């Protein structure tokens, strides 16, 4: 969750073509869950001694960790035509203020409006 603020808009010579540079500020929600199980069983038989034993072991564990990180970043968009655009966005977050020390992501997309 967050917001975007347009820092600059640069028009190009082609009609409807422009580029924008935008600042991004927000929060990123993390939800990490873990589930594991381990089962073991054994059957021992000593027919000569008329002895038979069985035993088993089972362990199960599950947990979830949740936190929210502050995020700051930049986004660049370029509109080639009214129907085509490219967007590149990068951000960093965490800063040791909550669950993570440092987190980042970069996303690039191409869009075409039919």
4-26: per-residue pLDDT in tens?
999 999 988 878 899 999 999 99
Average pLDDT for 76-85: 92
Average pLDDT for 62-91: 92
Res 105: pLDDT: 93
Q: What are phi and psi of 49, to 5 degrees?
A: -95, 0
DSSP H helical ranges for the chain: none
> pTM of the predicted model, to two decimals?
0.64
* Domain residue extents for the chain: 2-112
Tokens found for residue 29: 């929600």
Q: Which of 23-37, 43-57, 70-84, 96-110 is predicted least confidently?
A: 43-57
Res 57: pLDDT: 79
């Amino acid at each position: 969750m967050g917001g975007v603020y347009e820092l600059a808009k640069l028009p190009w010579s082609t009609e409807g073509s422009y580029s924008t540079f935008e600042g991004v500020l927000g929060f990123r929600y993390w939800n990490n869950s873990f589930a594991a199980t381990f089962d073991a069983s054994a059957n021992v038989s000593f027919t000569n001694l008329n002895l038979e034993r069985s035993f088993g072991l089972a362990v199960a564990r599950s947990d979830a960790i949740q936190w929210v990180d502050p995020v700051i970043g930049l986004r660049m968009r370029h509109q080639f035509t009214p129907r085509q655009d490219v967007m590149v966005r990068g951000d960093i977050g965490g800063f040791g203020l909550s669950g993570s020390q440092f987190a980042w992501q970069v996303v690039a997309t191409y869009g075409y409006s039919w």
